[in-house]
């Protein structure tokens, strides 16, 4: 792995032209030129009409196979067409040309989905369709085994074509509640500035909220908290109405499709049993004491007579931005070393990703903030970073390259139809890498660094496991109210939210009136029963990382097989084959036991 150690000029005011080519992703790996992109767009649009020739003929085995094969071929082209434009726009959002190209790609994508919309309803209309019969007729159907069996699994919940068309058209009107929430919270609501302990004024927004919550200035934290939460509370009646409307809409679509309720419908998408959801909440309830101890420790070490919600995000480590100040090449070497337990083959490809145009490294003027990984079948993954010399950026490299390697291995080992892994599995690979990095860093850390790293782990578990399950329990309660024919009013939602905070954080947390409004700002509640996946994913990753480090039961080989499996089976089955059974509470209990162990270690270091 060779990466220049020279740090280029970068930042929000630096032109992209000033960033070295070696620190940019190779967009030409998708299309060698814009003219090649335009040629592919033209060809794809001309071939969309070929799909219509299959309408009404999918009961013929050969026609069915040829239709699916053509759909997959065109879908791969669509992925490349769209990625080519979006990736470039994300590196310079001010470039009008990129914006125009994205618009063209979006229109072509819409045309593609319209052209393929008849396929699944027509397959589902064949109620007696047997994969065994299809495979005997044409062995090439083997690649479609999981896809077709999963499609037929959902058949009892699919209505006649005309009714599905009506429901599909109705979604625009029934999505009003979510749109109202996003417009109200994203455009119409404004927050008063917050003053710090020296009287300086700071802007308050959803974007700056977490930054202010991690400040050492308690007055700034308190005033930010009261400004943001207090403002939301002023709109509690409107926001409770919009949430109720969204829940009613979800319940309508669930029950009209023959599901018992919204929870059953939401989990059915990944073939997840409701018992898993309930077991997750029960496992957390049985292991709340370590979280209570952590909050008590924070209260004690921060020398607070009262511990409030605005104190939750303050680190117990000393404030030192240079504690892990590494250049990008140094960070890549650290990540490479930390992930060595995954084997030579994994690390060789990781090294190639670092040096072969997978990654767009530094911030430049107009570049999108944050980080992500984007897998493209038949090319290679692309990773967007905005690297800064601190631990969070090193961890982000490990995280996003976890996604990238998952995409690479799935694409390499699976046919296109089976290459796309589920959201349920998506965060496992990235978080496993984060934990392997943290354990590696702990081995060579001094006392101050260990305190920082352990605090990072404890906060990750608090926010990704405990907090997300708290959200999941809140969702379960409010959707049960809707299923029972009741409504959601602000007063009841506030009481439920405070009760859950009291249960989860214990007696050390002071319950401010403003905290009662926190439920109203959570956008995930408008995508029912999604947040629990953060907790299951983190628990699976914690288990995988420890099994790999302990070299137990062929853990590395099983884990790499999981990364190579894409979406060739159901998520729970893939994880179970790899050694993590989320049908049992063992992974979550293992994660919480590790939380308790790290908390004990932190107490010793702080004494």
Rounded distance between C-alpha atoms, residue 279 and residue 469, angstroms: 11
Please check whether residue 431 is in contact with residue 398, taking contact to mean a CB–CB distance below 8 angstroms.
no
Q: How many CA atoms lie within 13 A of 284 on its CB side?
A: 26
Helix, strand, or coil here: 423?
helix
- The verdict on whether 400 is a catalytic residue reads yes
Tokens found for residue 8 = 């280029």
- Give me the helices (H) in 272-381, please: 274-285, 289-301, 328-338, 344-355
Place of tokens 């335009």: 38
Rg (CA), the chain: 25
Catalytic residue among 400, 434, 459, 518: 400
Place of tokens 């140094």: 330
Q: Which helix (H) or strand (E) holds 78?
A: helix 61-91
Sheet containing strand 372-374, strands side by side: 359-360, 382-384, 372-374
- 274-279 LR contacts (CB < 8 Å, sep 24+): 275/583, 276/536, 276/572, 276/582, 276/583, 277/472, 277/476, 277/529, 277/532, 279/584, 279/585
Q: Which helix (H) or strand (E) holds 107?
A: helix 96-116
Exposure b/e, 492-504, CB count within 10 A at least 16 = b: ebbebbbebbeeb
Rounded distance between C-alpha atoms, residue 105 and residue 97, angstroms: 12
Active site residues: 400
């Amino acid at each position: 792995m060779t990466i220049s150690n020279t740090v280029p000029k970068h930042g929000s005011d630096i032109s992209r032209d000033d960033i070295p080519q070696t620190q940019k992703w190779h967009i030409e790996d998708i299309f060698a030129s814009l003219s090649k992109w335009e040629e592919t767009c033209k060809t794809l649009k001309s071939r969309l009409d070929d799909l219509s020739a299959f309408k009404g003929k999918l009961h013929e085995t050969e026609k069915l196979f040829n239709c699916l094969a053509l759909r997959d071929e065109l879908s791969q082209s669509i992925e490349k067409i769209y990625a080519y434009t979006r990736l470039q726009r994300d590196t310079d959002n001010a470039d009008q040309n990129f914006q125009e190209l994205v618009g063209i790609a979006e229109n072509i994508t819409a045309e593609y989905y319209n052209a393929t919309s008849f396929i699944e309803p027509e397959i589902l209309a064949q109620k007696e369709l047997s994969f065994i019969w299809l495979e005997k007729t044409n062995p090439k159907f083997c690649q479609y085994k999981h896809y077709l069996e999963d499609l037929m699994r959902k058949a009892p919940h699919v209505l006649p074509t005309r009714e599905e068309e009506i429901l599909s058209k109705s979604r625009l009107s029934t999505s009003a509640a979510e749109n109202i929430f996003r417009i109200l919270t994203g455009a119409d609501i404004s927050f008063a500035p917050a003053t710090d302990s020296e009287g300086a004024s700071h802007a308050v927004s959803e974007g700056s909220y977490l930054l202010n919550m991690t400040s050492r200035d308690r007055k700034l934290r308190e005033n930010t908290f009261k400004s943001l939460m207090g403002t939301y509370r002023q709109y509690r009646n409107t926001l409770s109405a919009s949430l109720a409307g969204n829940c009613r809409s979800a319940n309508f679509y669930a029950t009209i499709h023959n599901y018992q309720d919204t929870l059953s419908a939401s989990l059915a998408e990944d073939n997840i049993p409701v018992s898993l959801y309930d077991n997750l909440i029960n496992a957390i309830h049985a292991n709340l004491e370590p979280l209570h101890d952590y909050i008590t420790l924070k209260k004690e070490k921060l020398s607070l007579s009262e511990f409030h919600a605005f104190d939750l995000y303050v680190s117990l480590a000393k404030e030192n931005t240079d504690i892990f100040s590494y250049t990008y090449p140094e960070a890549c070497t650290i990540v490479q070393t930390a992930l060595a337990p995954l084997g030579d083959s994994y690390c060789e490809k990781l090294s190639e990703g670092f040096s072969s145009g997978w990654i767009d490294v530094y911030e430049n003027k107009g570049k999108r903030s944050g980080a992500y990984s984007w897998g493209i079948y038949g090319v290679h993954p692309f990773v967007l970073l905005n690297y800064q010399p601190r631990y969070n950026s090193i961890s982000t490299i490990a995280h996003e390259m976890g996604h990238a390697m998952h995409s690479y291995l799935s694409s390499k080992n699976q046919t296109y139809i089976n290459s796309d892994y589920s959201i349920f599995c998506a965060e496992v690979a990235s978080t496993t890498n984060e934990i392997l990095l943290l354990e590696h860093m702990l081995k060579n850390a001094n006392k101050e660094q260990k305190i920082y790293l352990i605090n990072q782990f404890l906060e990750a578990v608090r926010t990704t496991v405990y907090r997300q399950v708290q959200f999941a329990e809140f969702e379960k309660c409010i959707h049960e109210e809707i299923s029972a024919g009741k409504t959601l009013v602000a007063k009841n939602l506030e009481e439920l939210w405070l009760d859950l905070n009291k249960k989860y954080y214990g007696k050390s947390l002071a319950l401010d009136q403003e905290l009662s409004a926190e439920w109203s700002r959570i956008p995930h509640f408008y995508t029912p029963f999604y947040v629990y996946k953060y907790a299951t994913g983190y628990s699976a990753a914690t288990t995988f990382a420890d099994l790999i480090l302990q070299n137990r039961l062929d853990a590395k080989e099983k884990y790499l097989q999981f990364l190579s499996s894409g979406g060739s089976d159901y998520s729970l089955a893939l994880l179970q084959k790899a050694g993590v059974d989320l049908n049992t509470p063992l992974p979550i209990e293992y994660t919480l036991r590790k939380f308790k162990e790290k908390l004990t270690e932190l107490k010793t270091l702080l004494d």
